[in-house]
Chains A and B, each alone.
Chain A
């Protein structure tokens, strides 16, 4: 009898103070996109747009009555959303801005609270603005920036004009380490096409995991690979910057290693070393296909001990695993090629983080690989496994997981292959509150479970053991 109108999409905009949220809001509101957008901003918001659609909110948190301390939602939002729905000339879109220090969890969880809200609103995406200039400083000092990145479906890496390419690559790598599934968009002055920010559909169960394919690939010990056509002779492998300045741009970028050096975090003694692991392999041709064919050999080579090469040193053997010392900007190394041909280079980190390049030669093909390198205690873990799951055991595992780790798991999403079920089971959650439904049939597609967890202190072995416990016994 009653007509159910389509749900109003909602974007949650989060980001640290000064990251550019207000600039983005102003852009969205002033652009001619034909949408009626209501903005719910925090009480002390800065939006100065002369718009009748801006409503103040007050971060009135409350815990739902289910005994879970992470199930906190926003009472003020519920009230304001209810009032917005009393307009027949309904809004096409709702944007919710959070304060710089706010945890986006309660805002997002509000939309999972009850059927009333679920039927009227569709959480579209959590968009996190990151200030490229201050991100590295903030993330080392505070919890909030990493958490805001962890919740994100889309990260707008803003103010990219204020930092160099190496810093951008570093920041992107760090963001990927925290949140392996978010899309990252580089912007200047929050200038991004509106259709890239609104109607993203990140929480749309019908589109679940569409953006997660790359993340769900197996993890590799390298983040980048490229193929080059190289002539015989010496080639110069060089990082950005001038040799001799010894200004330690990268000291904080520490990582564990199998041959131990003293990695001093932020050391300013002029001797803080940093290594970059790389593998060099001959390949059949300078093509993307040949690069892909070399992946397995590269993984094997990475598991072998590395030969350390200091600045001005030579990489003489191919194939081989090297650890080049990047003790200062402008460090250079000689790559000795005796046999001309196609070679693949695989790097532990993206070479752009260091401005690393082969002088005068461009890669004929290159590829990024799923980030595996977790500097922060917040990270993403993906599980891909084709074996069908037992729904009862699955519920027991997820129940236990959320009861014990719900507070640490910021986002959880997945497509599940349930035994004796023709359709994909899809779920999407924020902390312990989630939405699940049976989606389109598997049909001819390969039946496979794909799960993603983003959280603090995640333990892959624990998650895999839990998954194992839910596998249906034949």
Chain B
């Protein structure tokens, strides 16, 4: 039986620390040596990840941190909060570099361009673009509703904005700021460009998932969710679109003719709502974290069952792969951070 036995992977705990704030989200540094944490009551923390974990509390957003994003190829990350502010942090110095308010409202979402030269911020109805050092580049005309999510496409030429009733896609290439609108009469909760550039997907508050063919503009609607579709994510190779509105993950397979008219793959195993999931960068593993305190590792192309399950001590609020796809950060609602390594067995 020698030869073609495929490797199986599992998660191995590396360390745990107390952040002492609901972990809203976290972001890995490009080298995987640091992790930035955003807290629901407002804390901003920086963790050095070596053989042990060490936390440094470096600042806060009054009333809660809403978004966190690490600048690609840099030692810097950005946070935004209910206080309306955007802050840039120097991870090497563990200090704030700059802080400003892009608008009067809370700043709901942040996104770095793939090249790391531009930061987009959504404050209320206004999306604005900033340089890496915090200089204002552009502000788009106010939308009719609050912008709740932002994402650049892979080349960094377009930025998608999730709004109530539409996804606005602004062209940012060479200072052209044309806008294309993808309409659906419900609040859009997520904006997700496929890595291959062909599709734009969005989870909706009315319990539907939509994806548009970006070249034809054709809108496809997927139904049957338990409720609001708050989690949506493309696999790194753009084959699967994962979505969740409850205890299960619904995977749409975009290989061949695509998912229309097909039955999706359903990943079942959690006994309570999934609040965070993440596809492995550069790989085919998929992580889910739920209110059942369960962290599940999946390899959907091979199996509908999790290949590993780890229990943490509270409801999981954030799961994030490191950019090399070898480590996993898991934040929970009781304010703990646990880091796992992906190991072959």
Contact = CB atoms under 8 A, between A and B. Distances in A.
A115 B40 contact: no
A15 to B, nearest CB: 25
B206 A87 contact: no
Interface in A47-73: 52, 55-56, 58, 60, 62-65
Contact of A88 (B21, B66, B205, B271): B21
Contact of A115 (B63, B227, B334): B227
B135 interface: no
A64 B206 contact: yes
A63 B228 contact: no
Interface size on B, as a range, is: 35 or more
B272 A2 contact: yes
8 cross-chain pairs, A with B, having the tightest CB-CB distances, nearest first: A86-B40, A75-B187, A65-B206, A114-B227, A60-B164, A62-B186, A2-B291, A86-B22
Interface in B15-49: 21-22, 24, 40-41
Given A1-B272, A87-B40, A88-B335, A75 B66 contact: no
A462 interface: no
A2 B185 CA distance: 34
Given A58-B146, A62-B185, A75-B187, A86 B64 contact: yes
B206 A63 contact: yes
B279 interface: no
Among A2, A52, A76, A83: residue with most chain B CB under 10 A? A2
A433 to B, nearest CB: 14
Nearest to A82: B230
Given A65-B208, A88-B22, A114-B226, 20 more contacts: A2-B272, A52-B62, A52-B63, A58-B146, A62-B187, A63-B185, A65-B206, A75-B145, A75-B186, A75-B187, A78-B228, A79-B187, A83-B40, A87-B64, A88-B41, A88-B334, A89-B41, A114-B227, A115-B226, A116-B273
A90 B43 CA distance: 16
Given A1-B293, A62-B186, A76-B146, A83 B227 contact: no
Interface string B289-308: 00111000000000000000
A457 B333 CA distance: 49
B44 to A, nearest CB: 14
B292 A2 contact: yes
A62 B206 contact: yes
Given A2-B272, A2-B291, A63-B186, A58 B22 contact: no
Contacts of B335: 88
Contacts of A2: 272, 291-293, 315
A89 B42 CA distance: 12
Chain A binding surface SS class: loop
B228 A79 contact: no
Interface in A95-113: 113
A76 B145 CA distance: 9
Contacts of A65: 186, 206-208, 223
Nearest to A86: B40
B189 to A, nearest CB: 8
Interface string B122-155: 0000000000000000000000011010000000
B168 to A, nearest CB: 15
Interface string B230-272: 0000000000000000000000000000000000000000011
A56 B41 contact: no
Contact of A1 (B148, B164, B206, B271): B271
